[in-house]
């Protein structure tokens, strides 16, 4: 079975519940979001909750492979990252936030996938929306294995808006030509064999 099920349009799939971002709600850097994130972390919300259903492991292929929008952001250390400079590599772009439960649940599996495919022209870019570096550092420091891939900051949600992201987490898979070939809304188990196979299939293509 093809791990990326063909779809006539890049419509959202049936996924775990996600937080919907309303129009005009892209400036998420206010004190209320940071306060919520701090409270969740203080309560230990960074750990997976018991009794939750398993994360999905499917991606939906896009019928029309459109070029990915621009993505040029700085990471937690202030270093710039430009998606356009990554042509020739397969890139997984994930929009997330520390206050988002499925985002926190899927992060460890994203790191496991990155480690499995290390050195194989595969790049993970995790775009945190509406938070500052201190908030993200506080979250990552509580993880058993902190992410080795770049965490980029989109403090005002402008990149999220340009990509048409409607909820968090949202993930896009970009091929070597810089085109969006698959996507998902909601939490994913990224190191599941189906997703890993989809990435490896892209890596084999020119």
Strand, coil or helix: 127 = strand
Phi, psi of 146, rounded to the nearest 5 degrees: -60, 145
Catalytic residue check, 42: no
Given 103, 107, 168, 174, the catalytic residue: 103
Domain ranges of the chain: 19-44+56-204
**Tokens of residue 57, six digits:** 């492991």
Interval 20-37 mean pLDDT: 41
Strand, coil or helix: 185 = strand
Question: Can you give the pLDDT at residue 135?
Answer: 97
Catalytic residue check, 122: no
For residue 206, name the pLDDT band (cuts at 50, 70, 90). confident
Encode pLDDT of 135-156 as tens digits.
999 999 999 999 999 999 999 9
Question: With 50 as the cut, is the pLDDT of residue 8 above it?
Answer: no
Interval 118-129 mean pLDDT: 96
CATH of 19-44+56-204, one of 3.30.300.10, 3.10.20.600, 3.40.30.10, 3.30.1490.20: 3.40.30.10
Average pLDDT, the chain: 83
């Amino acid at each position: 079975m093809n791990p990326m099920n063909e779809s006539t349009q890049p419509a959202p799939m049936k996924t775990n519940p996600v937080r919907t971002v309303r129009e005009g709600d892209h400036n998420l850097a206010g004190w209320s979001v940071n306060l919520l994130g701090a409270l969740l972390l203080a309560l230990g919300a960074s750990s997976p909750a018991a009794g939750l259903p398993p994360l999905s492991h499917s991606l939906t292929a896009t019928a029309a492979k459109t070029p990915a929008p621009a993505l040029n952001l700085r990471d937690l250390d202030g270093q710039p990252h430009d998606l356009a400079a990554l042509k020739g590599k397969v890139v997984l772009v994930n929009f997330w936030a520390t206050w988002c439960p499925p985002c926190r649940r899927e992060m460890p599996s994203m790191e496991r996938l990155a480690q499995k495919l290390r050195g194989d022209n595969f790049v993970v870019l995790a775009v945190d929306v509406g938070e500052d570096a201190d908030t993200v550092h506080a979250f990552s420091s509580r993880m058993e294995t902190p992410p080795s891939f770049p965490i980029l900051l989109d403090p005002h949600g402008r990149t999220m808006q340009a990509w048409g992201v409607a909820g968090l987490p949202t993930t896009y898979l970009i091929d070597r030509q810089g085109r969006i070939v698959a996507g998902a809304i909601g939490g994913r188990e990224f190191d599941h064999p189906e997703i890993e196979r989809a990435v490896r299939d892209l890596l084999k293509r020119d």
